[in-house]
């Protein structure tokens, strides 16, 4: 009986990688949302670039850039270590700046953005989640920052 328990415990996987508390609890939901945005932004940008790139190349390349940022954020939030933490912070900060800059430009200079991107109008096409997500991400990262 004791041997059966030991064998069972040997095969149990920990919920989080050692030293990484970013991918536990609410962090899993955050990572899942980033993954969904990475997939959807990639699909949207891919479709736009393949089918109507000449209509708004800057907007569609910006959508592809946003997809890349979401993918980097997804992976880095799930990984352990101080380096991945720094990558997460950088990706989420780039996302926040992108949403704010593109959101403002799409309002004040709509000619520059004839077609919407993920970040246009502060993410209106996605229920403003692109505006809220980096704020939540930065709060989560601050609370889960690695110890010195």
Better pLDDT: 115 or 39: 39
31 in a domain, yes or no? yes
39 in a domain, yes or no? yes
117 in a domain, yes or no? yes
Q: How many domains does the chain have?
A: 1
Q: What percent of the chain clears pLDDT 90, i.e. is strictly above it?
A: 59
Mean pLDDT (the chain, rounded): 86
7 in a domain, yes or no? no
Structural domain range at position 91: 22-143
The Cα 76–Cα 144 span in angstroms is: 13
The average pLDDT across 69-84 equals 94
11 in a domain, yes or no? no
Is 37 strand, coil or helix? helix
For residue 86, pLDDT over 50 is answered with: yes
The Cα 19–Cα 93 span in angstroms is: 23
10 in a domain, yes or no? no
* 45 touches 115 (CB < 8 A): no
The average pLDDT across 84-89 equals 95
Q: How far apart are the first and last CA of the chain?
A: 43
Q: pLDDT digits over 30-69, tens only?
A: 999 999 999 999 999 999 999 999 888 888 999 999 999 9
For residue 17, pLDDT over 50 is answered with: no
The Cα 106–Cα 109 span in angstroms is: 5
- pLDDT of amino acid 20: 61
């Amino acid at each position: 009986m004791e041997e059966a328990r030991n064998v069972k415990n040997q095969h149990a996987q920990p919920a989080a990688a050692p030293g990484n508390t970013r991918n536990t609890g609410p962090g899993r939901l955050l990572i899942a949302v980033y993954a969904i945005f990475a997939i959807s932004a990639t699909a949207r940008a891919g479709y736009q670039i393949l089918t109507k790139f000449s209509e708004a190349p800057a907007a569609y390349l910006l959508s592809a850039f946003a997809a890349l940022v979401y993918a980097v954020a997804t992976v880095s939030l799930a990984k352990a270590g101080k380096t991945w933490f720094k990558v997460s912070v950088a990706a989420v900060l780039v996302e926040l700046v992108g949403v704010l800059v593109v959101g403002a430009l799409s309002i004040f200079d709509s000619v520059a953005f004839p077609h919407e991107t993920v970040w246009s109008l502060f993410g209106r096409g996605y229920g403003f989640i692109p505006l809220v997500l980096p704020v939540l991400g930065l709060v989560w990262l601050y609370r889960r920052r690695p110890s010195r």
